[in-house]
Homo-oligomer: A and B are copies of this chain.
Amino acid sequence: MDNAAEFDVVCMGNAIVDVLSHCEEADIGRLDLVRGAMTLIDAGRAQDLYQQMGPAIEASGGSAGNTAAGIASLGGRAAFIGKVRDDQFGGVFTHDTRASGVTFDVQPATDGPPTARCLIFITKDGERTMNTYLGAATNLTPDDVDPDVIAAAKIIYMEGYLWDPPQAKEAFLKAARIAHDHGRQVSITLSDPFCVERHRASFRELITHHIDVLFANEDEIKSLYQVDAFDDALQHVREDCAVAALTRSEKGSVIVAGDEVHVIDAAPVAHVVDTTGAGDLYASGFLFGLTHNYDLPRSARLAGLAAAEVISHIGPRPDVVLADYVRGKL
């Protein structure tokens, strides 16, 4: 890729503050949560769920925001596009994102709903169950996409979750067009199997015509192609996309790029504490590799290492400088 770009990656997504709390297995059923998934909730449900949640901590999150922070932590140059409000949570998100070394210059909304938050219930196995109130994130519009920022990045990366707020989808399509006009690449993650359910036809069309690099986990890619076997999904995606990075939790990941296929083991993790951010940090590592001329298997191994770090502690972003963490491990 062109190394003259100002940014390695521009990430677009919902700007969200995570509210993380440990819970008992029984709470998942009692509170009518969808275990392991991301469920969209309205303001009333958010208030109700929060009241029933245990003591929590707050940490900046959002899928693409986490990915951007991970890229910066690896030593890459990342920018983020997403929308907060000018409230305290918006201040927290803006601070943490900039303090992690990510360029974030989108103006906060001065009215409308508050900054988005995601109520995350973490069970004893480390699995996170997410409940997102999108709030101000729904106000991301094409006007928030600065063409100069898009043109200045080797690759843009978007979360599939952006397909939920209608204007955000338009913002992404604008960004993708600008990127391709400037000879840049465009990547996306499918985000969540339920997100794929909501937007399958649109995602299929997008991937076939506009996406250079696709990220998906096993459930998502099987849902996209409505197949039961991982290998069937694999054969489909080879036809549709130049590069696909397919993650399979503790089974590692499979990278497909035309005739090139790599099956990469997961990095070892002594104790899984909180899986929040696993897929996001996988994308950080893979995109860092791609934009630094790593070959595909090396990019995938870096991706696995970044994911391993983030699931070994509570919170969706690295606890350490990833560039130091991965040194000597590749």
Minimal beta-carbon separation of A298 from chain B (angstroms): 27
Interface stretch among A85-93, A181-189, A256-264? A85-93
Interface stretch among A57-65, A277-285, A288-296? A57-65
Q: Which residues of the other chain, B, contact A99 by a CB distance below 8 angstroms?
A: 53-56
Whether B88 lies near A56 (C-beta < 8 A) is: no
Q: In the complex, A178→B197 CA distance in Å? A: 62
Minimal beta-carbon separation of A158 from chain B (angstroms): 22
Q: Known contacts A88-B89, A88-B114, A114-B88: does B57 contact A59 (CB below 8 Å)?
A: yes
Q: Which residues of the other chain, B, contact A100 by a CB distance below 8 angstroms?
A: 54-55
A50 at the interface (CB under 8 A from B): yes
Q: In the complex, A95→B58 CA distance in Å? A: 12
CB-CB contacts below 8 Å: A99-116 with B? 99-100, 114
Whether A55 lies near B317 (C-beta < 8 A) is: yes
Closest to A102 in B: B55
A240 at the interface (CB under 8 A from B): no
Q: Which residues of the other chain, B, contact A114 by a CB distance below 8 angstroms?
A: 88
A287 at the interface (CB under 8 A from B): no
A96 at the interface (CB under 8 A from B): yes
A69 at the interface (CB under 8 A from B): yes
Copies per complex of this chain: 2
Closest to A69 in B: B55
CB-CB contacts below 8 Å: A4-53 with B? 22, 50-51, 53
Q: In the complex, A57→B276 CA distance in Å? A: 15
Closest to A17 in B: B58
Whether A95 lies near B50 (C-beta < 8 A) is: yes
Q: Residue-by-residue, is A226-246 near B (CB-CB < 8 Å gives 1, otherwise 0)?
A: 000000000000000000000
A315 at the interface (CB under 8 A from B): yes
Most chain B CB atoms below 10 A, which of A55, A89, A317: A55
Q: Which residues of the other chain, B, contact A60 by a CB distance below 8 angstroms?
A: 55
Closest to A19 in B: B92
Chain A to chain B: the 9 pairs with minimum beta-carbon distance, closest first: A58-B58, A88-B88, A55-B96, A57-B59, A55-B100, A55-B99, A54-B99, A57-B57, A88-B89
26 contacts between A and B (CB under 8 A): A22-B319, A50-B95, A53-B95, A53-B99, A54-B99, A54-B100, A55-B60, A55-B69, A55-B95, A55-B96, A55-B100, A55-B317, A56-B92, A56-B95, A56-B96, A56-B99, A57-B57, A57-B59, A57-B315, A58-B58, A58-B92, A87-B87, A87-B88, A88-B88, A88-B89, A88-B114
Q: Taking beta carbons and an 8 Å cutoff, which residues of A are in contact with B? A: 22, 50-51, 53-60, 69, 87-89, 92, 95-96, 99-100, 114, 315, 317, 319
